[in-house]
Structure 1
Amino acid sequence: MQKKISDDLSTTAVHSRGREAVAPRTVPALTIVSHPQPQRIGERRLLSEMIAASGRTASLSRNAPDFARPGSVLALPLGDPFISRKPVQFEPGARGGVRVLVPEDATGVRVAGQPLVGCREFSAEELSAGVPLELAERVVLLLHHASSAPETGPGDLGMVGQGEGVRRVREDVVRVADLDVPVLIRGETGSGKELVARAIHQHSKRRNGPFISVNLGALSKELVSAELFGARKGAYTGAAGDREGFFRAAHGGTLFLDEVGEAPPEVQVALLRVLETGEVFPVGGSTPVRVDVRLLTATDANLEERIRQGHFKAPLLHRLAGFEIQVPPLRERREDIGPLFMYFARQELETTGEAQRLSSSDPRAEPWLPASLAVRLVRYAWPGNIRQLRNVARQLVIGSRGLPHLRVDARLEQELDAAAAAVPGQTVSTRAPSAPPSASSEEPESADDKAARRKPSDVGEQELLEALRASSWDLKATADRLGIPRSSVYVLIDKSSLIRTARDLSPEEISRCYQECQGDLDQMVRKLEVSKRALQRRVRELGLGAD
């Protein structure tokens, strides 16, 4: 019986882009996101371990079970005196889901700001996205999937987090670091691709050599060849002397080229030549120069689509991708949001001289990271990923300087709420869970309830495209129309072969459309068929002056 329940609470996850991979078995887990003692954020407990101890259901109270940071031997119960001794219960749900049962006189539990009364069931898909549970308005736990494998892999490699996604990245870094093959790092903007590149360099045989990081998207198209490969004196107007170039500057070490998808055609040809021959031709020179450089590249673009459009050379992609590493977006590793936020907050507090705020040992203290704010952070879609989280942490810490706990202003609160995931879970029963809920106790379902429980995997590409058009490419309105979380809309768009994102648009295409539409952003959205907010950001980045 005990083995059957543990199996019911487990699911196998397979996630790979570009190659077959079988992930370790994953099981439901609880991770601390907010606590009166901030140093405890990130501690975790697997539900399968809790069930193994009881043999029936998993129980959670102030005194049990013990939570520990992955890989640590130190474990403690939640210990908050405002949490009841009467436990909240967890039991297997349908098809790998989990039911949460709250007795009438147990600790108050809220899900996305809504009280959880009686029994609510969360699907396996909702667990994969992460379900924030707020206890007594003080402690926030994230109910999610985690690997059942013990922490026996590499160290953190400078990367914060213990989610399955970042663990896979660490394992890939260790696999390829000591090899001299080119590595292509894929991931959304702000997801930490350069951090991965630095980890590869620091654990390679070239660690004592230079690490040169170059953003190709920021280089002038007229001078990009000279910047990369060097130039001879007089090769172009203003070339008063020889230019070394980034490849020669990285000799004996590693060269990291970010936004490689933005490389002009002539630079793509030259990169292919360097990878094949190990030689560069300086601009204006006639003699090749040998270089000993390991090339790491990164992109947030769909290079395969750019190849189909004729903007990127297929042979170059094959040479760059000697090995590929996929960096997951932050919305796919929500269990890491708490530790990442605290990491950035600690950095900011050290600059303001208030780092002692994160060392509280009083379980009765008011949480420095309020539970309501922690829930907002976990539910937000984070389109800007880790870079955006770091900026939000800085804004909150500076805006709360001198206060006993973080304070969120109305504008930021509205922004976080606007892109929040849908409220997860299906109410099974509103009666006290003294006995297993029966079919006769279920409440009638409304049309909205059914829509809110729709699986994103049931949404086809054409339906998604039609919903986006009908919603004027407003992603929140699209999510509401389809009855799925907004975060799932991002995932479906990323997987779709019919839909582009604003980052897939070239600067020329945006500029041309801006002129044709006379700066009317709504008209540009209808013409280009991309998210309005994302397009507005690109327009501003290009200096086109749209409001």
Structure 2
Amino acid sequence: MSLSLIDAENTLASPVCALAGRAAQRLALTILWHPQPQRIGEQCIAAPGSGDIELNRFAPLFGGLAGGAQPLGQRRIARDALRLRRHRDHGVSLLLPKSRMRVELNGAMLAGAGTRCTAEQVDAGLVIGLGGVVLLCVHWMDRLPQDSAIAGVHGVGSAAIRLRELIRQVAATDLPVLLLGEAGSGKELAAQAIHHASARCRSPMVTVNMATVAEAQAAPELFGAGTGALARVDDGTLFLDKIGTAPQAVQALLLRVLKTGQYRPAGMRANEPARVRLVVASDHDLHDGSFNQSLLRRLEALVVRLPPLRERRCDIGVLVLHFMQAWSGRTGSAPALPLAFISQLCNYDWPGNVRQLGSVVQRALSAAQAGQPLAFEALVPGVAGRPARVRLGKLSGQAVLDALESNGWLIRNAALALGVSRPSMYKLIEEHPAIRQIGQIAPAEIAAALAAHGGDAGRCAAALRTPSEALRRYLRRHGG
């Protein structure tokens, strides 16, 4: 995982810092795929306010925290430069070289002079293919990379760096931790990382998936004498996944553990000390009233939100390489995967997150090893059933609004419903007079909408008539 800075005043020894504000975000290029696997994940990061980035065979340099920097190389990448130009509205233009080099953007061939991408498109990560040999992701970084390896937490982008920072911070305490994130985003891996980085690392970690425990067995499973999870933890970490499915009686018992530091084993008359660090996880909102709110307030002592993979597009190459290396470790070798297939992996929005990506990569490696063709639609359940792509000119403004309304103002889901690509959906939104860009809405109006809808970002986005993804990014940047 590597880094090179396009800034004479910054070096790899510069202090690692969080970068404040949109204007200070750095435009980054991350190598998603390269013929030399060891280069996957290398980065080049431009200084704030820097000019065009010229991208060709010889420049810029992609270097690393481990030292050394080198260009992309590869004879199929032209000497004439593809230029990336950052605009004041935080959009980015791709200005094509005069050469015949094949340039792809988000899986589609680019022609003519180039194209301009909106700020939201860059936020989602632009996947650029060069010469049919290299894939890059153009994205923002709001902090500088750092050597902060955490087992099981892979990635080079800001979200992965931030997650590793949070894991180290919460691991240094003994407070309960609430992990929030979509299914497949890596909550159990984060819990394991917290345990291994904590002072309890030499004691056991016990995991219980509350969704798989029958209601009648939930209390004995956790609080049983001798065999219950609390008894087995013994100064270690108890991880309760799917905590929102825990029966009310169990929630009350967990609240007592956090209040008193004790529990009464099932069938016993005396209390026992609960020498346990509690880590819990949920993939849905616990504020809907069905969960014990007193317990929730105690669990919220430390909250770690795991970003979905669609917000970490720059990490997909690193993750694919990790899964391929794991396959090779089990079987002795891993077959090569074609660049076109890797491009499809990098451009997909992954509703099942890292878990789904890992499963698809394993299926692809199995098929490649058996000499079978790699059909993305066959390997990713649900993709084949998507509607056929349609021409943008055939879509009415009302159809675009209806798709957003019925899909919670989520761009990716609305695009799937309409049968258009994600970049096309951004274009339709940008051109629609009734859809508002988040930058055009006054902060006071956003605050009022949040208050009116109890902080629910999805309902707030619908009320403001602005895409949910953009609103959530706004709230994260402003501490909402």
Same fold (TM > 0.5): yes
Q: CA deviation at 1:495?
A: 3.6
> Does the 8 A contact of 1:160 with 1:339 survive in 2?
yes
Pairing 1:438-477 to 2, within 5 Å after superposition: 447=393, 464-466=404-406, 476-477=416-417
Tell me which of 244, 258, 280 is aligned to 1:261.
244
The residue that corresponds to 2:179 in the other structure is 185
The residue that corresponds to 2:32 in the other structure is 33
CA-to-aligned-CA distance 1:266-312 (integer Å, 9 cap, x gap): 0111110011111112222222222211101110010012x2xxx21
Q: CA deviation at 1:152?
A: 3.8
Task: Supply the distance in 2 between the matched residues of 1:378 and 1:419 (Cα, whole angstroms).
Answer: 18
Tell me which of 371, 379, 402 is aligned to 1:412.
379
The amino acid that maps onto 1:229 is: F
CA-to-aligned-CA distance 1:480-521 (integer Å, 9 cap, x gap): 5997369x9xxx9x942499xxxxxxxxxxxxxxxxxxxxxx
Task: Supply the distance in 1 between the matched residues of 2:347 and 2:284 (Cα, whole angstroms).
Answer: 26
Q: CA deviation at 1:72?
A: 3.0
Task: Supply the distance in 1 between the matched residues of 2:85 and 2:213 (Cα, whole angstroms).
Answer: 56
Q: TM-score, normalised by structure 1?
A: 0.68
Q: Specify whether residues 153 and 110 from structure 1 end up closer, same or farther in structure 2 by C-alpha distance, changes over 3 A only.
A: closer
Q: Specify whether residues 38 and 263 from structure 1 end up closer, same or farther in structure 2 by C-alpha distance, changes over 3 A only.
A: same
Task: Supply the distance in 2 between the matched residues of 1:250 and 1:273 (Cα, whole angstroms).
Answer: 17
Task: Supply the distance in 1 between the matched residues of 2:415 and 2:71 (Cα, whole angstroms).
Answer: 40
Q: CA deviation at 1:400?
A: 0.7
The residue that corresponds to 1:60 in the other structure is 55
> Does the 8 A contact of 2:122 with 2:138 survive in 1?
yes
Tell me the SS of whatever aligns to 1:303: coil
> Cα RMSD over matched residues?
3.7
The residue that corresponds to 1:216 in the other structure is 210
Structure of greater relative contact order (alpha carbons < 8 Å, 6+ residues apart): 1
Task: Supply the distance in 2 between the matched residues of 1:300 and 1:413 (Cα, whole angstroms).
Answer: 22
Q: CA deviation at 1:158?
A: 3.5
CA-to-aligned-CA distance 1:66-93 (integer Å, 9 cap, x gap): 1124x23222211111111111112123
Q: May I ask how many residue pairs the two structures share in their alignment?
A: 413
> Does the 8 A contact of 1:57 with 1:90 survive in 2?
yes
Pairing 1:37-56 to 2, within 5 Å after superposition: 37-48=36-47, 56=51
Q: CA deviation at 1:265?
A: 0.6
The residue that corresponds to 1:279 in the other structure is 262
Tell me the SS of whatever aligns to 1:179: coil
> Does the 8 A contact of 2:57 with 2:73 survive in 1?
yes
> Does the 8 A contact of 1:381 with 1:419 survive in 2?
no
Pairing 1:124-135 to 2, within 5 Å after superposition: 124-135=119-130
Residue 38 of structure 2 corresponds to residue 76 of structure 1:
no
Task: Supply the distance in 1 between the matched residues of 2:241 and 2:407 (Cα, whole angstroms).
Answer: 34
Pairing 1:321-332 to 2, within 5 Å after superposition: 321-332=300-311
CA-to-aligned-CA distance 1:128-187 (integer Å, 9 cap, x gap): 10111111122111111123x433463334311111111111111111212110010100
> Does the 8 A contact of 2:29 with 2:139 survive in 1?
yes
Q: Specify whether residues 223 and 22 from structure 1 end up closer, same or farther in structure 2 by C-alpha distance, changes over 3 A only.
A: farther
Task: Supply the distance in 2 between the matched residues of 1:173 and 1:349 (Cα, whole angstroms).
Answer: 29
Q: CA deviation at 1:393?
A: 1.1
> Does the 8 A contact of 1:468 with 1:478 survive in 2?
no
> Does the 8 A contact of 1:88 with 1:107 survive in 2?
no
Residue 344 of structure 2 corresponds to residue 376 of structure 1:
yes
Task: Supply the distance in 2 between the matched residues of 1:446 and 1:468 (Cα, whole angstroms).
Answer: 21
Pairing 1:318-357 to 2, within 5 Å after superposition: 318-355=297-334
Q: CA deviation at 1:414?
A: 8.4
Q: CA deviation at 1:479?
A: 7.2
Q: CA deviation at 1:190?
A: 0.9
The amino acid that maps onto 1:258 is: D
> Does the 8 A contact of 2:208 with 2:239 survive in 1?
yes
Task: Supply the distance in 2 between the matched residues of 1:409 and 1:463 (Cα, whole angstroms).
Answer: 25
The residue that corresponds to 2:359 in the other structure is 391
Task: Supply the distance in 1 between the matched residues of 2:318 and 2:345 (Cα, whole angstroms).
Answer: 12
CA-to-aligned-CA distance 1:417-454 (integer Å, 9 cap, x gap): 7779x99xxxxxxxxxxxxxxxxxxxxx9857997xx9
The residue that corresponds to 2:141 in the other structure is 146
Unaligned runs of 5+ in 2: 1-5, 8-17, 430-437, 439-455, 462-480
Point out the structure with max Rg over C-alpha: 1
Q: TM-score, normalised by structure 2?
A: 0.77
Residue 430 of structure 2 corresponds to residue 484 of structure 1:
no
Tell me the SS of whatever aligns to 2:425: coil
Task: Supply the distance in 2 between the matched residues of 1:229 and 1:121 (Cα, whole angstroms).
Answer: 59
Q: Specify whether residues 179 and 479 from structure 1 end up closer, same or farther in structure 2 by C-alpha distance, changes over 3 A only.
A: farther
> Does the 8 A contact of 1:161 with 1:336 survive in 2?
yes
CA-to-aligned-CA distance 1:466-491 (integer Å, 9 cap, x gap): 5679xxx98712575997369x9xxx
CA-to-aligned-CA distance 1:82-138 (integer Å, 9 cap, x gap): 111111112123501111111332522122223232121111111110111111122
> Does the 8 A contact of 1:85 with 1:106 survive in 2?
no
> Does the 8 A contact of 2:167 with 2:193 survive in 1?
yes
Task: Supply the distance in 1 between the matched residues of 2:209 and 2:129 (Cα, whole angstroms).
Answer: 41
Unaligned runs of 5+ in 1: 4-13, 16-20, 232-242, 358-367, 424-444, 500-547
The residue that corresponds to 2:475 in the other structure is none
Residue 295 of structure 2 corresponds to residue 316 of structure 1:
yes
Q: Specify whether residues 64 and 448 from structure 1 end up closer, same or farther in structure 2 by C-alpha distance, changes over 3 A only.
A: farther
Q: Specify whether residues 102 and 328 from structure 1 end up closer, same or farther in structure 2 by C-alpha distance, changes over 3 A only.
A: same
Tell me the SS of whatever aligns to 2:359: helix
Instruction: Name which of structure 1's ranges 474-483 and 103-112 shifts more when overlaid on structure 2.
Output: 474-483
Q: CA deviation at 1:348?
A: 0.9
CA-to-aligned-CA distance 1:319-370 (integer Å, 9 cap, x gap): 1111100000111101001000110111112322225x6xxxxxxxxxx342
Q: Specify whether residues 209 and 396 from structure 1 end up closer, same or farther in structure 2 by C-alpha distance, changes over 3 A only.
A: same
Q: CA deviation at 1:203?
A: 1.4
